[in-house]
Chain A
Amino acid sequence: MGDAGVTHHLLGVAGSYPMLLALWLLPLAGAVICWTYGPQLRAIAGWLVSALVGASFVLALLSWHDGTQNVAGAAGANQPLFSWMPGFDFGLLLDPLSLLWTFIITGVGFLIVFYSIGYMQGDRAFARFFAYMSFFVFAMLTLVLSDNFIGLLVGWGLVGLASYFLIGFWFERPSAVAAARKAFVINVVGDVGVMFAIFVIIAHVHSSAFGDTFAAAGTLSAAVILTICVALFIGAAAKSAQVPLHTWLPDAMEGPTPVSALIHAATMVTAGVYLIARCAPLWNASREAQLLVGTVGGVTALLGAILGTAQWDIKRILAYSTMSQIGYMIMGVGVGAYEAGVAQFFTHAFFKAQLFLGAGLVIHALSDEQDIRRMGGLWKKMPFAFWVMLTGVLSISGVPGFSGFFSKDEVIYGALAHGHPWLDAIGIVTAGITAYYMFRLLFVAFLGEYRGEAPVHTGGAGSWIMNVPVAILVVPSVAIGGALLFGGDASPWAHFFAPLFAAQAHLAASQTPAPAISENLTSVIVMMVVAIGFVIAWQRYATATAQRNAVERLRVETEKMPAVLTNLFYFDAAIDAIFVRPSQALGRFFGHVFDPRVLDGAVREIVLTAGWLGTLVRSFQTGLLRAYALILVFGAACFIAYYAIAGAAH
Chain B
Amino acid sequence: MSVPINDYVSLASVIFFIGVIGVIVRRNPLIMLMSVELMFNAANLLLIAYARLWLHNVGHIFAFIVITVAAAEAAIGLAIVVTTFRPEKYVDVDDIRRLHG
- A residues near B (Cβ < 8 Å) are 617-626, 629-630, 633
Would you mind naming 7 contact pairs between A and B with Cβ atoms under 8 Å apart? A621-B100, A623-B99, A623-B100, A624-B100, A626-B94, A629-B20, A630-B24
Given the known interface contacts A626-B93, A626-B94, the answer about A633 and B99 at a Cβ–Cβ threshold of 8 Å is no
Per the bound structure, the CA–CA distance linking A625 and B96 in Å amounts to 8
Specify which of A618, A621, A623, A633 is in contact with B24 (CB 8 Å cutoff).
A633
Within 8 Å CB of B99, what residues of A? Answer: 621, 623
CA distance A353 to B96 in the complex (A): 89
- What residue in chain A is nearest B99 (Cβ atoms)? A623
B49 within 8 A of A: no
B23: interface (CB < 8 Å): yes
* Contact (Cβ within 8 A) B100 A625: no
Residues of chain B whose beta carbon lies under 8 Å from any beta carbon of chain A: 20, 23-25, 27, 32, 93-94, 96-101
From the candidates B23, B98, B100, B101, name the one contacting A626 in the complex (CB within 8 A).
B23
Establish whether residues A626 and B97, one from each chain, have CB atoms under 8 Å apart when the complex forms: no
| B101 near A620: Cβ-Cβ < 8 Å | yes
Closest residue on chain A to residue B35 by CB atoms: A629
B20 near A626: Cβ-Cβ < 8 Å: no
Contact A625 B20 (CB under 8 A): no
Complex interface: chain A residues within 8 A of B23 (CB): 626, 629
Q: How far is the CA of A617 from the CA of B101 in the complex (A)?
A: 8
What separation, in Å, do the CA atoms of A49 and B10 have in the docked complex?
104
Give Cα distance in the complex from A126 to B95, angstroms.
Answer: 79
Q: Is the CB of B94 within 8 A of A618?
A: no
Chain B residues with Cβ under 8 A from A622's Cβ? Answer: 97, 100-101
**Shortest Cβ gap from A188 to chain B (Å):** 56
In Å, the complex CA distance between A626 and B22 comes to 10
Total A-B Cβ pairs within 8 A: 36
Counting chain B CB atoms within 10 Å of each CB, which of A617, A629, A630, A633 scores highest? A629
| Whole-angstrom CA separation of A630 from B23 in the bound complex | 9
A618's closest neighbor in chain B, by CB? B101
For A624, list chain B residues within 8 Å (CB): 93-94, 97, 100
Within the complex, the shortest CB–CB distance from B97 to chain A, in Å, comes to 3
With the chains together, A630 CA to B98 CA distance in Å? 19
Contact B101 A629 (CB under 8 A): no
In the A-B complex, the 5 residue pairs with the smallest Cβ-Cβ separation, listed nearest first, are: A621-B101, A623-B100, A618-B101, A623-B97, A625-B93
Closest chain A CB from B14 CB (angstroms): 16
Q: B93: which A residues are within 8 A, CB to CB?
A: 624-626
| C-alpha gap A122/B23 in the complex (Å) | 91
Q: Beyond the given A625-B93, A626-B25, A633-B20, could you list 16 further A-B residue pairs with CB under 8 A, ordered by the A residue number?
A: A620-B101, A621-B100, A621-B101, A622-B97, A623-B96, A623-B98, A623-B99, A623-B101, A624-B94, A624-B97, A625-B32, A625-B94, A625-B96, A626-B94, A629-B23, A630-B24
Complex Cα gap A620–B27 (Å): 20
B residues near A619, Cβ cutoff 8 Å: 101
Q: How far is the CA of A620 from the CA of B100 in the complex (A)?
A: 9
Residue in chain B with minimal CB distance to A615:
B101
Question: Could you tell me the distance between the alpha carbons of A618 and B27 in the complex, rounded to whole angstroms?
Answer: 23
Whole-angstrom CA separation of A625 from B27 in the bound complex: 9
Q: Which residue of A lies closest to B93 (CB)?
A: A625
- The complex places the Cα of A618 from the Cα of B100 at a distance, in Å, of 8
- CB of B46 to closest CB in A, whole Å: 14
A506 to chain B, nearest CB (A): 92
Chain B residues with CB under 8 Å of A626's CB are 23-25, 27, 93-94
CA distance A633 to B84 in the complex (A): 25
List of A residues within 8 angstroms of B96 by Cβ: 623, 625
The answer for the CA separation of A320 and B96 in the assembled complex, in Å, is 86
In the complex, how many angstroms separate the beta carbon of A456 from the nearest chain B beta carbon? 85
How far does the alpha carbon of A495 sit from the alpha carbon of B98 in the complex, in Å? Answer: 98
Minimum distance in angstroms from A184 CB to a CB of chain B: 57
A630 to B24, CA, bound (A): 6
User: What residues of B have a CB within 8 angstroms of the CB of A625 in the complex?
Assistant: 32, 93-94, 96
**Which residues from chain A contact B25 at a C-beta distance below 8 Å?**
626
Using Cβ atoms and an 8 Å threshold, which residues of chain B touch A620?
101
Q: How far is the CA of A621 from the CA of B98 in the complex (A)?
A: 10
For B24, list chain A residues within 8 Å (CB). Answer: 626, 629-630, 633
Alpha-carbon separation in the docked complex, A417 to B101 (Å): 92
Complex Cα spacing A273 to B101, Å: 76
A630: which B residues are within 8 A, CB to CB?
Answer: 24
Provide the bound-state CA to CA distance between A618 and B24, in Å: 21
CA distance A626 to B93 in the complex (A): 8
Closest CB-CB distance, A65 to chain B, in whole Å?
89
For B97, the chain A residues whose CB sits under 8 A away are: 622-624
- The CA of A373 and the CA of B1, in the complex, are separated in Å by 131
Closest to A636 in B: B20
Nearest chain B CB to A650 CB, angstrom units = 20
Contacts of B98 in A (CB 8 A): 623
Q: Closest CB of chain A to B96's CB: distance in Å?
A: 8
B100 contact set on A, CB distance < 8 A? 621-624
Chain A: which residue is nearest B97 at the CB level? A623
> Nearest Cβ distance between residue A624 and chain B, in whole angstroms?
6
In the complex, what residue of chain B is closest to A633 when comparing beta carbons? B20
Within 8 Å CB of A623, what residues of B?
96-101
Shortest Cβ distance from residue B22 to the other chain A in the assembled complex, whole angstroms: 10
Bound-state CA distance A621–B101 (Å) is: 5
- Chain A residues with Cβ under 8 A from B94's Cβ? 624-626
Q: Least Cβ distance of B10 to chain A in Å? A: 16
Q: Which residues of B contact A618 (CB under 8 A)?
A: 101
Which chain B residue lies CB-closest to A622? B100
Looking at the assembled complex, report how far the CB atom of B73 sits from the nearest CB atom of chain A, in whole angstroms: 14
Interchain CA distance A617-B24 in the complex, whole Å: 22
Q: Complex formed: what's the CA distance from A352 to B94 in Å? A: 95
